[in-house]
């Protein structure tokens, strides 16, 4: 990888350009890192019937597959997403995590988890009545990820 910095004294806003032959995982991670450091808002293009919306990623609570479609949920709306679930796993920042075969959640939006020992557990979100199911296979990893974000000591 070649890195070059060009300084332009009259430039009003900083701009980072990434030139690449193809979109690789390392390029996506670099883009995510730069956006996080600059405090920039990244958006995802989502659809509702014939209208495209540019929704900030932070406003998305979770993604889930419904049949052959991938749906993105915000606090009060649901949109169609043009990606596949595995593609989103690569594109989304670290604040998102897969919690079942068909669902990716925004860890920043989780309000509570109701544990169920015999079946899937229920995830609830801040400021919304929407819920998502976390499968038993992902439950422990989800709790570990959420615990790394806690303030202070404790279990």
What would the pLDDT profile of 19-69 be if each residue is shown by its tens digit? 888 877 777 777 767 766 766 667 899 999 899 999 999 999 999 999 999
Residues 50, 55: Cα–Cα separation, whole Å: 16
- What is the pTM for the complete model shown? 0.73
Judged by DSSP in three states, 69 sits in: strand
Residue 3 phi/psi, 5-degree rounding, is: -120, 130
CA dihedral of 31, 34, 37, 40, whole degrees rounded to 10: -70
Domains of the chain: 25-147 (2.40.50.1020)
What would the pLDDT profile of 90-108 be if each residue is shown by its tens digit? 888 888 999 999 999 999 9
């Amino acid at each position: 990888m070649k890195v070059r910095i060009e300084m332009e004294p009259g430039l009003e806003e900083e701009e980072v350009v990434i030139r690449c032959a193809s979109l690789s995982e390392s390029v996506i991670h670099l883009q995510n890192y730069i956006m996080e450091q600059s405090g920039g808002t990244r958006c995802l293009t989502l659809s509702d019937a014939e209208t495209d919306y540019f929704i900030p990623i932070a406003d998305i609570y979770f993604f889930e597959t419904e049949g052959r479609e991938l749906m993105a949920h915000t606090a009060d709306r649901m949109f169609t997403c043009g990606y596949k679930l595995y593609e989103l796993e690569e594109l989304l920042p670290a604040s998102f995590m897969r919690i079942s075969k068909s669902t990716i959640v925004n860890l920043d939006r989780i309000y509570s988890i109701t544990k169920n020992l015999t079946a899937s557990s229920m995830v609830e979100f801040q400021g919304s009545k929407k819920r998502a199911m976390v499968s038993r296979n992902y439950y422990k990893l989800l709790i570990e990820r959420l615990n790394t974000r806690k303030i202070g000591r404790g279990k």
